């Protein structure tokens, strides 16, 4: 086989359903071979989408997503999405072409940036093929490493001359990696959990996404309320009586904050306590905290921890359930009633419409949840509404709600949704995008039309970076560089080949959404958004914590500026 044939065979054997990317001179041999061997592929319009579609594929399937890009600009365009996957623990295999090596290497080749050096800071590891014979083995290793422990992206660079070299290849499946389980630490954790005078609360992260039934069983055994991190949303069915939503401080749901006030011991499973998920590290510190994670480097980094357990989540939960009789608490009807009552109050408060000229974003999210399928795949972008969506877009199944959590790369939701739709052709796939995010990746909608991917794109149009305004206004009493263009979305949809809909008032929500969701092709829907009168709990929590950490001098400077600017009744906002 040629190097290209060996590479494609390996991708097929590793279960790849689709490769995302753009061909170039260094990779035409590979794309031609993908076609011959019937490996699925999807042409994107910009390589940011190649990494992000692979990310959407990975999040929705739980399997490594694959992108294939040319060296130089193909790779640098893809970096923001690979970075998101790294910080969000998403497995990707990034096949990056490289300039010729060996006797074909010459100075000044096109795209001759240092590909491995570019990949290094955004991946777990970079494999650089030096000979054609190595290609299949390196690709297998990349798949294995991407999914191992805390998942993440892995790079493979392949000089283009190797793709046409014919070789005998000898590569078989790799021995699976051992999974971590620190049995002694786990025993200490079970000892603490068996103290029935301690009321336990579970905080579940992305590491629990594929062990949902065991998580539910442990929660019922411990009679523990379960909050999730932002990325862990879906690991616990949110319609379960012990589910309290996301976060457990002032940044997440009111129900989670209430339920964890009475908790003596937090059991944190498969979480990192990242800045975004904790509302700028504002989660309350409980006296007892057990932290379990597959990556030892994540343990005890943010919160004071009583016991750290380096463990695979499936094994830890399996072992915990083996000693369930020692951990079991009697049914706590009072807790369950309190959760139910607070959830109902919170839901009533969220359903209260606050906007008058345009659509209330919370009303939109609630209607979208009510009217979409319960297994719909929802992709939410870096809009201020991401926090409301995480609170109110209740999920009853794992791997159905997604957002770019820790790199917060704007424009992520549009390509990520396309990547997921490509491998889930019969599922409803939705995006909730701000108009700023829309401007970053909207050209990718042309791919939806070209490839017949029926994603329903919703853009929250307030002609501004509202998120930035929310951060800037309280501190500076004016806003800078946050006003966006007024777009003709209808014309844009037409140019991209999409159907178009517009929702201009709360009264139209129900009927317009029903129409959009019933449509069998891709639709762009402009939601004329009125952001006034609704607080963002996450921003308040983060701001309070940030302010608390300012030095005395910094506080005085901030307050003096706010004071003098408050006298100006005509702030210059642009
Ligand atoms: C690539 C990138 N650039 C800049 C930012 C900083 N940023 C975060 S949110 C945001 C504005 C989002 O605006 P929009 O999409 O309109 O959402 P809104 O809050 O208005 O709903 C900006 C500029 C970022 N996260 N990512
Ligand atoms: Mg906006």
Q: Give the residue among 202, 212, 106 at the shortest CA–CA distance from 159.
A: 106
pLDDT attached to residue 227 = 98
- Which stretches does DSSP call E strand in 464-528? 499-503, 523-528
Q: Give the residue among 200, 191, 203 at the shortest CA–CA distance from 223.
A: 200
Tokens of 87: 């910080």
CB–CB of 478/572 below 8 Å?
yes
Distance CA 30, CA 72 (A): 17
Distance CA 364, CA 573 (A): 27
Q: Point out the ligand 1 atom lying closest to the alpha carbon of residue 384.
A: 19
Mean of the per-residue pLDDT values for the chain? 97
% of the chain surpassing 70 pLDDT: 100
For 434-448, how does the pLDDT look when each residue is reduced to its tens digit (9 = 90+)?
999 999 999 999 999
Is the confidence at residue 172, as pLDDT, over 90? no
Distance 117 CA to ligand 1 centre (A): 28
CB–CB of 39/200 below 8 Å?
no
pTM of the full structure: 0.98
Distance 481 CA to ligand 1 centre (A): 11
Distance CA 208, CA 512 (A): 36
Element (H, E) at 343: helix 333-351
Q: Point out the ligand 1 atom lying closest to the alpha carbon of residue 484.
A: 16
Residue of 467, 527, 573 to test ligand 1 pocket, by largest number of atoms within 8 Å of CB? 467
For 152-169, how does the pLDDT look when each residue is reduced to its tens digit (9 = 90+)?
999 999 999 999 999 999
Distance 404 CA to ligand 1 centre (A): 12
Distance 468 CA to ligand 2 centre (A): 9
pLDDT attached to residue 571 = 81
Q: Point out the ligand 1 atom lying closest to the alpha carbon of residue 361.
A: 21
pLDDT attached to residue 343 = 98
Q: How far is CA 149 from CA 13, 201, 207, 307, in A?
A: 22, 24, 9, 19
Residue of 465, 479, 574 to test ligand 1 pocket, by largest number of atoms within 8 Å of CB? 465
Is the confidence at residue 356, as pLDDT, over 90? no
Confidence of residue 175 (pLDDT cuts 50, 70, 90): confident
For 423-482, how does the pLDDT look when each residue is reduced to its tens digit (9 = 90+)?
999 999 999 999 999 999 999 999 999 999 999 999 999 999 999 999 999 999 999 999
Tokens of 387: 């926090």
pLDDT attached to residue 462 = 97
Is the confidence at residue 176, as pLDDT, over 90? no
For 51-102, how does the pLDDT look when each residue is reduced to its tens digit (9 = 90+)?
999 999 999 999 999 999 999 999 999 999 999 999 999 999 999 999 999 9
Residue of 358, 360, 410 to test ligand 1 pocket, by largest number of atoms within 8 Å of CB? 410
> If you ran DSSP here, which 8-state letter would residue 9 be given?
H
CB–CB of 382/414 below 8 Å?
no
Q: What is the DSSP string of 202-263?
A: EEE-GGGTT-HHHHHHHHHHHT--EEE-STTTTSS-TTSTTEEEE-SSTTS-HHHHHHHHT-
Distance 538 CA to ligand 2 centre (A): 17
pLDDT attached to residue 277 = 97
Q: Point out the ligand 1 atom lying closest to the alpha carbon of residue 409.
A: 26
CB–CB of 363/506 below 8 Å?
yes
Residue of 275, 382, 439 to test ligand 1 pocket, by largest number of atoms within 8 Å of CB? 382
Distance 390 CA to ligand 2 centre (A): 18
Q: Which residues line ligand 1 (CB under 6 A)?
A: 382-385, 408-410, 434-437, 460, 462, 464-468
């Amino acid at each position: 086989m040629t190097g290209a044939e060996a590479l494609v065979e390996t991708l097929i054997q590793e279960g790849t359903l689709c490769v995302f990317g753009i061909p170039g001179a260094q990779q035409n041999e590979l794309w031609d071979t993908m076609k011959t061997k019937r490996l699925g592929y999807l042409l994107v319009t910009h390589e940011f989408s190649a990494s992000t579609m692979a990310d959407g594929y990975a999040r929705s399937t739980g399997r490594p997503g694959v992108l294939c890009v040319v060296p130089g600009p193909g790779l640098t365009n893809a970096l923001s999405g690979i970075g998101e996957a790294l910080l969000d623990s998403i497995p990707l295999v990034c096949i990056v072409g490289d300039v010729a090596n060996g006797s074909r290497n010459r100075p000044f080749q096109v795209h001759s940036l240092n590909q491995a050096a570019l990949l290094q800071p955004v991946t777990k590891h970079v494999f650089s093929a030096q000979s054609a014979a190595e290609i299949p083995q390196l690709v297998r290793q990349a798949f294995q490493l991407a999914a191992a422990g805390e998942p993440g992206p892995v790079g493979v660079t392949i000089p283009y001359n190797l793709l046409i070299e014919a070789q005998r290849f000898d590569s078989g499946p790799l021995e699976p990696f051992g999974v971590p389980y620190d049995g002694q630490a786990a025993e200490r954790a079970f000892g603490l959990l068996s103290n029935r005078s301690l009321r336990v609360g579970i905080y579940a992260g992305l590491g629990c996404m594929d062990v949902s039934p065991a998580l539910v069983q442990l929660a019922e055994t411990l009679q523990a309320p379960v909050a999730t991190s932002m990325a862990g949303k879906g690991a616990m069915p949110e319609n379960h009586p012990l589910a309290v939503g996301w976060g457990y401080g002032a940044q997440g749901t009111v129900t989670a904050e209430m339920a964890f006030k009475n908790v003596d011991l937090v059991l944190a499973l498969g979480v990192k306590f990242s800045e975004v998920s904790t509302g700028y590290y504002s989660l309350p510190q409980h006296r007892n905290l057990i932290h379990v994670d597959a990556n030892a480097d994540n343990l005890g980094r943010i919160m004071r921890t009583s016991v750290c357990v380096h463990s695979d989540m499936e094994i830890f939960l399996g072992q915990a359930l083996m000693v369930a009789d020692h951990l079991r608490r009697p049914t706590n009807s009072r807790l369950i009633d309190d959760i139910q009552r607070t959830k109902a109050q919170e839901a009533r408060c969220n359903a209260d419409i606050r906007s008058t000229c345009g659509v209330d974003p919370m009303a939109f999210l609630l209607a979208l949840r009510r009217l979409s399928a319960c297994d719909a795949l929802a992709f939410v972008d870096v809009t201020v509404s991401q926090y409301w969506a995480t609170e109110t877009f209740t999920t009853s199944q794992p791997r159905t709600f997604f957002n770019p959590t820790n790199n917060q790369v704007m424009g992520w939701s549009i390509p990520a949704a396309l990547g997921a739709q490509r491998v889930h052709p019969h599922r409803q796939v939705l995006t909730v995008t701000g108009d700023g995010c829309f401007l970053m990746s909207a050209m990718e909608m042309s791919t939806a039309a070209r490839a017949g991917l029926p994603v329903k794109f919703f853009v929250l149009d307030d002609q501004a970076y509202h998120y930035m305004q929310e951060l800037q206004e309280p501190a500076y009493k004016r806003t800078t560089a946050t006003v966006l263009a007024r777009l003709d979305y209808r014309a844009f949809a037409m140019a991209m080949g999409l159907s178009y809909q517009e929702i201009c008032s709360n009264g139209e929500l129900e009927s317009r959404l029903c129409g959009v969701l019933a449509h069998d092709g891709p639709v762009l829907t402009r939601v004329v958004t009125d952001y006034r009168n609704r607080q963002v709990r996450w921003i308040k929590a983060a701001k309070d914590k940030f302010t608390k950490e300012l030095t005395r001098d910094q506080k005085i400077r901030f307050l003096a500026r706010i004071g003098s600017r408050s006298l100006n009744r005509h702030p210059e906002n642009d």
